[in-house]
Amino acid sequence: MDLESKNVSQVISEIKNLLETEFTNVTIIGETTNLSLSSSGHWYFTLSDKDASISAALFKMDALRNPLIKQIKDGEKVIVVGDINVYPKRGTFQVIVKKIVPLGVGDLKEQFEKLKRRLAGEGLFDLDRKKIIPPLPKRVAIITALRGAALQDFINIYKRRSIWMDLVVIPTLVQGDDAPRSIRASLHKIIKYSLDAEPAKKIDIIVLTRGGGSLEDLWAFNDEGLAWDLFNCPIPTISAVGHEVDFSIADFVCDLRAETPSAAAEVITHQQTLIKEKMRTLKGRLLSTIEIKISRVNNRLKYAHPHTILNIILGVFNTYQKRLNRCDIQKRLNELTHIHEFYQRLDESITDLKIHLKEKLATLKHRLDKSSGLLNVLNPKNVLERGYSYVETLEGGVVASSVDLDKLSKGAQLNLYFHDGKRLVKKAE
């Protein structure tokens, strides 16, 4: 039977023509996930329901006409209007969105919030029921995908920071319909192992982790059965699901939430890192102390050697010999004699100076006594005591003669001074 053969390009071209012709201005309802804004201003996201999904793009110019796109979050249900576009290179198609309108919170988001509220009401998130994370765990179990980036990130931090901690990896599915059952089975397995193990091999912490993803990708960690298993787990648990912005029910139930797998490893190894740093510091101090003590012992041994002691004695002897050679005893005695003579001459000069000063003081005293007698004779007070008086104006001017008195007006007031006081008088004429 002859079949018409076509190459891939022809088939894709026909499909492209068919889809882009038949599916124009189509209206689609679904939930948004993986919503992202490119540097060029285009928006990309996935539109999905419980059975299927389709890629969608809202280009920059259309985004400007749909400002509500900035308010839409992952998990929200929206209605979009657009055209189906086929990309021949990959044989894929997407919807080029012309209009997008949010219809409210999507089914998955709504389920998450309802379950979160119900479990919170039942006490699964209560802080007083959470177990303390051991600061220095010896064995840690990590439940995650065996080939996932989360495990590698955790191991990298663990190898760099840990001192003695053992790591037990429990592989599990972390995405898909079978993931919740797989995670719960892994959790039950490690709990049973720890309960049956000897004390040295018991598990101190269980870490539940995976990398980031959409709400659908992380949905396995929102399983109610898993939430109850984590709540009843006798071993302290840490949740490190997704990135910092991702939250799951497991995050709220576990005893501690870490933002990322790497952050979980850092929390667990924090005290070990401090101890390692302390040990490094103490090691440095110990080595420094040992080096100092060795240096001191070497110095003691060096100076205790007979040759060293002999060299020191010879050095001291030579030093004093040189000093002695530099000393001229007779010269020193002559210098002392000159100094003695100088002091004798100095004493004689001081004695002469004292005699000269005494004579000078006597002469000055005689002159002082003579001047005092003369001043006493000329003292106005002594003159007044002999019956004399003198006249002054009120302004202090001395009236020394009749001419001075005539110059004053009649009735002018004057002070008349005696040896024992003064009187106020007036000029009569």
| Of 267-276, 335-344, 420-429, the least confident | 335-344
Banded model confidence at residue 331, pLDDT cuts 50, 70, 90: low
Residue 326: is its pLDDT beyond 70?
Answer: no
Banded model confidence at residue 224, pLDDT cuts 50, 70, 90: very high
Could you tell me the sign of the dihedral formed by the alpha carbons of 352, 358, 361, 367, in that order? negative
Residue 20: is its pLDDT beyond 70?
Answer: yes
CA gap 239, 257 in Å, rounded: 5
Banded model confidence at residue 329, pLDDT cuts 50, 70, 90: low
Mean per-residue pLDDT over the chain, rounded? 86
> Would you give the DSSP letter of residue 10?
H
303 contacts: CB under 8 Å, gap ≥ 6: 309, 312
The CA R_g of the chain, rounded to the nearest whole Å, is 57
Residue 205: is its pLDDT beyond 70?
Answer: yes
DSSP secondary structure string for all residues of 23-60 = SSSEEEEEEEEEEEE-TTS-EEEEEE-SS-EEEEEE-H
Highest average pLDDT, of 131-145, 327-341, 366-380, comes from: 131-145
| Of 72-86, 120-134, 270-284, 382-396, the least confident | 382-396
Residue 248: is its pLDDT beyond 50?
Answer: yes
- Per-residue pLDDT of 89-131, as tens digits, reads 888 999 999 999 887 545 678 889 999 999 999 999 999 999 9
Q: How far from the centroid of its chain's Cα atoms is residue 144's Cα? A: 35
24 contacts: CB under 8 Å, gap ≥ 6: 83, 84
Ordered strands of the 256-257 beta sheet: 166-171, 139-144, 205-210, 237-241, 256-257
pLDDT number for residue 327: 61
68 contacts: CB under 8 Å, gap ≥ 6: 100, 101, 102
Residue 415: is its pLDDT beyond 90?
Answer: no
CA gap 123, 129 in Å, rounded: 8
Banded model confidence at residue 68, pLDDT cuts 50, 70, 90: confident
Tokens for 142, please give them: 């990590």
Banded model confidence at residue 342, pLDDT cuts 50, 70, 90: confident
- The answer to whether 138 and 205 have CB atoms below 8 angstroms apart is no
238 contacts: CB under 8 Å, gap ≥ 6: 133, 205, 206, 207, 208, 254, 255, 256, 257, 258, 264, 267, 268
Tell me what the mean pLDDT of segment 196-222 comes to.
Answer: 90
| Of 13-17, 91-95, 305-309, the least confident | 305-309
pLDDT number for residue 332: 67
Euclidean distance between the first and the last CA atom of the chain, given in angstroms as a whole number = 177
CA gap 81, 100 in Å, rounded: 7
Highest average pLDDT, of 7-21, 57-71, 180-194, 393-407, comes from: 180-194
Give the containing element (helix H, strand E) for 114. helix 107-121
> Would you give the DSSP letter of residue 244?
T
pLDDT number for residue 93: 93
CA gap 144, 212 in Å, rounded: 13
- Burial label, 88 (beta-carbon count in 10 A; 0-12, 13-18, 19+): middle
Banded model confidence at residue 172, pLDDT cuts 50, 70, 90: very high
Could you tell me the sign of the dihedral formed by the alpha carbons of 191, 196, 201, 204, in that order? positive
C-beta atoms surrounding 93 within 10 Å: 18
CA gap 261, 238 in Å, rounded: 10
pLDDT number for residue 1: 45
Residue 408 one-letter amino acid: L
The reply to whether the predicted model has a pTM over 0.75 is no
Residue 270: is its pLDDT beyond 70?
Answer: yes
pLDDT number for residue 103: 76
Residue 260: is its pLDDT beyond 70?
Answer: yes
Backbone dihedral angles phi then psi of residue 66, each to the nearest 5 degrees: -130, 70
Tell me what the mean pLDDT of segment 356-366 comes to.
Answer: 85
| Of 93-97, 215-219, 307-311, the least confident | 307-311
